[in-house]
Amino acid sequence: MSPEESLDPENWNEMRRLGHRMVDDAMDYLERVRERPVWQPVGDAAKAALRAPLPVKGQGPAAVYEDFLRDVFPNGMGNIHPRFWGWVIGTGTPFGALADMLASTMNPNIGGGDQGPNYVELQTLSWLREMLGYPADSSGLLVSGGSMANFVGLAVARNAEAQTDVAQEGIASAPRRMTLYASTETHNSVRKAASLLGLGRAALREIPVNDAFRIDLEALRRSIAEDRKAGLHPFCVVGNAGTVNTGAFDALPELADLCESENLWLHVDGAFGALAALSPRLKPLVRGMDRADSLAFDLHKWMYMPYDVGCALVRWPEKHRATFVSPADYLAHLTRGLPAGPIWFSEYGVQLSRGFRALKVWMSLKEHGVAKFGRLVEQNCDQAAYLQSLVEADPELELLAPVPLNIACFRFAPPGMDPARLDEINEEILIGLQESGTAVPSSTILGGRFALRVCICNHRTRREDLDLLVREVLQRGRALAAEPARRS
């Protein structure tokens, strides 16, 4: 018989030394991030290298690391940089990255069983509940992020409210068409979930918002009443705790009252806004969130943890489990040995095999304590308000939405300029900011106008970074305004 081989290193000390080098390089990379451009387009050399053919023979770890250093490391997204404010994207932390190495070293599968990592996830979930003021007897699950957390909450809602056994018999067995309700500002993952769950995107009634981008409660009531009158089956309202465009909060206490009286499931998408609960000052924003039947939020956004980790909490553990449990002979839960243990998380979500994403959450909460996260959430909101004040103080800039949280949407808009030209200039400003490596805001459309969108989920941002942003926007805007229009 041939000798057996493994994937372990031939020389463990070399792997140790390589690991030390990686730690040093990683810490240098993070310590000096402020000195580098936020982002740069990926160069042709790296693109070509990343089209190399399938490696048949191995290069060994040291040579692979050189390739990584050359082609990958310098070409990051930039979201670890203090001036990255695009979309809703977190920054990560040095200790969080080290925690991920430890998680992958232990490499447990947290489907369940009597193992330390399972207890770590349980403890983490219990901390997260407490942080957000959500009921202690709710069930929960760490997931890949907000999209999956919304999917989990809405799946439970669908099954719990269907009045027939849709898990077994399918949506077609429901006697009436099921409908759900959310504002037009709701995240696209809710639409995606409605589609995937077999309800259809059309089942999601998109309710208009008021000037503060909050759901119009009267329009919501009307829509529900009309659907009932038409013989449909309204079953769920999705409330927003921090919308993606502007950080608006729907009126959660009123939504909870309405759901109670109308007998509807209340799901709250708190992707980042839920974390306002950590700050004593901002906490009033999330009032009513504790009354949600299910709650989705992220840790990799406004808790600054490395990707990817989000969380779904459900007020009704049995309904939660009933939606995802799927017994099988090979998963028998013996009462002793490894299969024993306090919980099988695989019965509460899509994944059967589950990685140890709980470790970075656990280690980061212990490292800093929840009070510091609360201060940082406030700090980011203060920074958004600071940017608002800079914008409002300048006649060439225009604020495009209220700033209730950590998002400011504005544009360069000197008085008297053609609207189409303004859109063109602001798009060019955005691209220029990104291509020069100065800053990365993203964009959105608000009231038909192209907006520079600055969303601060970044523990490295300082006010001076926002000063620089405003200076750059003005400078670029003025230069562009002096040029002849390109498109018109």
- Which residue number, 144 or 406, has a Cβ lying nearer to its own copies? 144
425: left (phi over 0), alpha (psi -120 to 50) or beta: alpha
Tokens of 263: 């007998």
Q: x/- string (CB under 8 A) for its own copies, residues 282-301?
A: ----------------x-xx
**CA neighbor of 298 nearest in space, from 372, 377, 235:** 377
59 binds its own copies (CB under 8 A): yes
- Binder to its own copies among 239, 242, 273, 355 (CB under 8 A)? 355
4 binds its own copies (CB under 8 A): yes
108 binds its own copies (CB under 8 A): yes
N-terminal to C-terminal alpha carbon distance within the chain? 76
What minimum distance in Å lies between the beta carbon of 306 and its own copies?
Answer: 4
- Which residue number, 249 or 373, has a Cβ lying nearer to its own copies? 373
8 binds its own copies (CB under 8 A): yes
DSSP string covering 182-202: EETTS-HHHHHHHHHTTS-GG
- The residue range among 18-26, 282-290, 390-398, 412-420 that interacts with its own copies, by the rule CB under 8 A, is 18-26
Residues 87-106 that bind its own copies (CB under 8 A): 87, 89-106
What minimum distance in Å lies between the beta carbon of 375 and its own copies?
Answer: 7
140 binds its own copies (CB under 8 A): no
9 binds its own copies (CB under 8 A): yes
What minimum distance in Å lies between the beta carbon of 319 and its own copies?
Answer: 14
DSSP string covering 406-463: SEEEEEE--TT--HHHHHHHHHHHHHHHHHTTS-EEEEEEETTEEEEEEE---TT--H
**Cis bond before residue 308 (omega within 30° of 0):** yes
What minimum distance in Å lies between the beta carbon of 58 and its own copies?
Answer: 4
Residues 387-416 that bind its own copies (CB under 8 A): none
Describe the strand order of the beta sheet including 139-143 as a list of residue ranges: 139-143, 310-314, 294-298, 265-269, 233-240, 178-183, 204-207
211 binds its own copies (CB under 8 A): no
- Which residue number, 247 or 256, has a Cβ lying nearer to its own copies? 247
Greatest Cα-to-Cα distance within the chain, rounded to the nearest angstrom: 84
In which residue are the tokens 């013996």 written? Answer: 334
What minimum distance in Å lies between the beta carbon of 359 and its own copies?
Answer: 7
- Binder to its own copies among 367, 394, 424, 472 (CB under 8 A)? 367
